[in-house]
């Protein structure tokens, strides 16, 4: 997976962490953004559970790549992760919580011409009040290190 970050990182990148911090492993996106925001040369956005609220900001930035980070059911063991392309994203059941993922992705794509990827991490539990699982905490550490390394390569 390490090489995947090196392959997608471009000059103008926006990394968008998606998730609800009150719902266990769903807090993955915001937790990753908190960990990398001051250590990479990318715009890092904690979009919480409403990434659609940040569409205008992302469009104004005109990035080359948008990396969405979210806990998604990808039929893997908890903490396992995968970088998905636009076509893969639309097949995963990925949800931007309030807005259709098709509309979200297509709108960003048409307004920015950016390559859009989803870093999907399999959650263990996403119930309200759950603690973040150790497997997802470990995944956050690994992913943060890989992203930082890609920017320092």
% of the chain beyond a pLDDT of 70: 86
Residue 116 belongs to what H/E stretch?
Answer: strand 115-121
Give 125-144 pLDDT, tens digit per residue: 888 989 999 999 999 999 99
Q: Quick check: 15 and 42 in contact, CB under 8 A? A: yes
3-state secondary structure 27-39: HHHHHHHHHHCCC
Token pair, residue 152, equals 């320092």
CB count in 10 Å sphere of residue 44: 21
| pLDDT score for 94 | 54
**What confidence tier does 3 reach under pLDDT thresholds 50, 70, 90?**
very low
Q: How far apart are alpha carbons 118 and 150 in whole angstroms?
A: 17
Residue 2 has pLDDT above 70, yes or no: no
Mean per-residue pLDDT of the chain = 86
Question: What is the rounded distance in angstroms from the CA atom of residue 148 to the CA atom of residue 153?
Answer: 9
Tens digits of per-residue pLDDT, 40-95? 999 999 999 888 899 999 999 999 999 999 998 888 999 999 988 877 776 655 55
Give the pLDDT of residue 99: 54
Fold for the domain defined by 2-127+135-152 = Rossmann fold (3.40.50)
pLDDT at res. 96: 42
- pTM listed for this prediction: 0.89
């Amino acid at each position: 997976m390490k090489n995947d970050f090196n392959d997608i990182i471009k000059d103008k990148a926006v990394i968008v962490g998606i998730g609800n911090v009150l719902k266990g492993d769903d807090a993955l996106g915001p937790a990753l953004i908190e960990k990398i925001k001051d250590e990479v040369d990318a715009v890092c956005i904690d979009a919480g559970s409403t990434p659609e609220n940040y569409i205008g900001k992302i469009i104004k930035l005109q990035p080359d790549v948008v990396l969405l980070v979210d806990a998604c059911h990808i039929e893997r063991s908890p903490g396992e992760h995968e970088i998905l392309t636009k076509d893969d994203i639309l097949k995963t059941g990925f949800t931007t919580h309030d807005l259709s993922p098709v509309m979200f992705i297509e709108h960003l794509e048409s307004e920015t011409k950016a390559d859009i990827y989803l870093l999907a991490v399999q959650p263990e539990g996403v119930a309200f009040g759950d603690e973040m699982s150790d497997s997802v905490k470990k995944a956050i550490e690994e992913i943060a290190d890989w992203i930082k390394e890609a920017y320092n390569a």
